[in-house]
Structure 1
Amino acid sequence: MAQGQLVSQAASVAGLSEAAPVVIELFTSQGCSSCPPADALLTELADQPGIIALSYHVDYWDYIGWKDPFSSPEATQRQRDYASSMSLRYVYTPQLVIDGRKELVGSRRGDVLLEIEEAAKAGKAVSLSIAGKSLSEPTVNFSNELPLGRSATLWVAVFDEQHETEIQRGENKGLFMVNKHVVRGFERAGEWNGRDASLSFSFASLGLSPTDGCALLLQDGTGGAIIGAVLHESNPS
């Protein structure tokens, strides 16, 4: 399929809303020969309004020929949390998780686009917005309350816009790989009680370094459904 056709198909995802963005989290590795098609699809989708795309580079491929320079144990733990929540027997790459509710092989283009459309139709329980002049100590506003007794965890993912790497060894030796929205830090910002109108935190207190952008994810605990999200592509400084 020609590149123009690929872009056209990706652009046809229906029902996307910037007020209720669909969160897609790709678990990938530069050492995995099955991952480049999934990386390419994420690159296409990353800049579409109404989608928050994050690329987590896991570390369990690092010992098989090529050490991914962007891999981290935190990325692997994030994937394992999803595996536990979804009762999966193992982790794998390339895995795509959509809104913390659905997982599938990240290179299955048609299935991925259909699942994103379904997630867009479902919407989000809470809309998030960021207040304040600087992202270094932001205030996150919540549009509405959760049912009595429910709470949610606010996670912060900071990411680099794009990396280009020439692979020297391993299964992808000789390839020039492009990775978009590479997560470099992922931390819990706080617990929202489901009633307060806002929650504040500082990047310094979380030990997160400035990068090209950040995503705030409101999630049912660890590895649960993402019920709200907002993207801010400015350095937290």
Structure 2
Amino acid sequence: MKLFRIPFIIVITSLVLTGLLFANKTDTSEAVPAFPEPGFALLELFTSEGCSSCPPADELMNRIQQSAGDKPVYVLAYHVDYWDRNGWKDVFSDPAFTERQYQYSRRFADQVYTPQVIVNGTTEFVGSDAEAADIAISKALATSSAGSLSVTASIENDSLKASYQVESRRSHLKLMIAVVQKHATSGVKAGENKGRTLSHSQIVRRLHSFDIDVAPKNQFKLELPRDFNINEWELIGFLQDRATGVIYAAKRITI
């Protein structure tokens, strides 16, 4: 039997190609960083003024946002509309936010409920559960980000003009821009919270989506609510996988 000596360089090349083959089979739902980026925590609360269990969750999210300081912790409160038929219409409710929650429910194979919090598109829990929130935030901050997002913006009349740049190994991404009212109060006159004055924070008033697969660096323009001002409102941008819902980067936008 003849023995053939295989050149060392061919062996190394084969190992490298094999490694690349297995790397390409990595589950895209896992946050594998393309480069070392700090972790972040984006908390999405689904809530309603018509839900008696929601005020404690609203208060918890407010405390989390206030105590975050300079940490990359961002809270978005979406007011859903399916409670509106139970005696009180939430002025902040939007069917688009209800649809967003249903999209998440398909990912988690779970029922739709309020108050619900979803962190970075990967973890969900009851919105008033402070212990679960602490665990999820700590885990998210300790996990390197799989992308980076840079947005510069300016206001022209009632519109926001912005430029963005995205870096990520992921594909099928969309850039989400949340227009957020920081605080508001409501006197509820019917429904489960009848007679209560509710305090809200980080209320998402509009949520815009941009497909960035073909343009990781580009500009966009969007219309702002008439009562928008830079002192009482803010904008938060984040990168989300269109298929899995996983969020790979988030940033508060400086105007």
Give the TM-score of the pair, scaled to structure 2.
0.75
Output the CA distance in 1 between the equivalents of 2:177 and 2:154. Answer: 18
Spell out the pairing of 1:1-237 with structure 2 (5 A cutoff): 20-47=39-66, 48=68, 49=70, 50-88=72-110, 90-134=111-155, 136-142=160-166, 144-146=167-169, 150-193=171-214, 198-204=217-223, 208-209=224-225, 211=228, 212-221=233-242, 224-232=245-253, 234=255
Amino acid at match of 2:43: I
Unpaired segments of 5 or more residues in structure 2? 1-36
- Pick which of 18-27 and 111-120 moved more: 18-27
Corresponding residue SS for 1:33: coil
Aligned-pair distance for 1:87?
2.1
Aligned-pair distance for 1:66?
1.2
Output the CA distance in 1 between the equivalents of 2:106 and 2:150. Answer: 30
- State the Cα RMSD in Å: 2.1
Going from structure 1 to structure 2, the CA distance change for 1:133 and 1:59 (only over 3 Å counts) comes to closer
Contact 1:137 1:200 in 2 (8 A): yes
Give the TM-score of the pair, scaled to structure 1.
0.81
Aligned-pair distance for 1:220?
0.5
Amino acid at match of 1:146: R
How many residues align structurally?
A: 208
In structure 2, the partner of 1:7 is none
Unpaired segments of 5 or more residues in structure 1? 1-17
Residue identity (%): 33
Output the CA distance in 2 between the equivalents of 1:133 and 1:33. Answer: 39
